[in-house]
Amino acid sequence: MKWILPLIALVWQSHDKPPERAAPYYPTPPVVVERMLRLGELRKGEKLFDLGSGDGRIVIAGAQKFKARAAGVELDKGLVAQSRRSIAKLELQSLAEIIEGDLFEQDYSDADLITVYLLPVTNIRLSPVLEKKMKRGARVVCHDFEFTEWNPEKTEVIEDEEGRSHTLFLYRR
């Protein structure tokens, strides 16, 4: 029975571990949001995930303009509440939802398109996770920071409303 205590400690620690904060909140400008979804070839009825969905702007654009089934994953309770309020105000609940939780822990097996605006160090950890979780043919669009282990199918550079330059990368699993 000597193994019981270490086992309980291990289970306890793994439950207690807070999710990794993968990036600070920094929103994608609206013109870039639209371009990300176009580059990702998002179509009506497809499943979109935005990993770290912030105020929900990518999820909302995916549901409103592209008629996709859009989900955001967000850790920050305030941003979760704000984005859920926006979705309700726009009456998009049948197409759009926000999952409160850790983006590393979700099921992406039905994703057609995943959008990512996180940090380079996070992308290094995330790419093998997505490789395991995504179906063949699914697409990923990254904003500014690429997945260094993958080869992009397309790269685009665009300017936002304030003349700042943004790089987008399209990958296909």
Ligand X SMILES: C[S@@+](CC[C@H](N)C(=O)[O-])C[C@H]1O[C@@H](n2cnc3c(N)ncnc32)[C@H](O)[C@@H]1O
Q: Residue from 34, 41, 76, 156 that binds ligand X (CB under 6 A)?
A: 76
- Provide, rounded to whole angstroms, the least separation between the CB of residue 7 and ligand X: 27
Q: Residue from 40, 47, 49, 50 that binds ligand X (CB under 6 A)?
A: 50
Q: Shortest Cβ contact with ligand X: which residue?
A: 52
Q: Does 12 bind ligand X (CB under 6 A)?
A: no
Buried b (16+ CB within 10 A) or exposed e, 69-87: bbbbbbbbeebbebbbebb
Task: Return the residues of window 80-99 that contact ligand X according to CB under 6 A.
Answer: none
Start-to-end Cα distance in the chain: 46
Q: Residue from 22, 39, 111, 138 that binds ligand X (CB under 6 A)?
A: 22
Q: Which is nearer to ligand X, 34 or 102 (CB)?
A: 102
Q: Does 112 bind ligand X (CB under 6 A)?
A: no
Task: State the pairing for strand pair 165-172/139-143.
Answer: antiparallel
Q: What residues have CB less than 8 Å from 87, skipping those under 6 apart?
A: 56, 59, 60, 63, 93, 96, 97, 98
Q: Residue from 34, 41, 102, 160 that binds ligand X (CB under 6 A)?
A: 102
- Provide, rounded to whole angstroms, the least separation between the CB of residue 78 and ligand X: 9
Which token pair is 105?
Answer: 């822990």
Q: Which of these ranges, 9-17, 19-27, 80-88, 159-167, lies near ligand X under the rule CB under 6 A?
A: 19-27
Q: Considering only CA atoms, which of 69, 117, 72 is closest in space to residue 95?
A: 69
Q: Residue from 9, 26, 125, 153 that binds ligand X (CB under 6 A)?
A: 26
Say how many residues make up the chain.
173
Q: Which is nearer to ligand X, 57 or 69 (CB)?
A: 57
Nearest-angstrom CA–CA distance, 5 and 13: 12
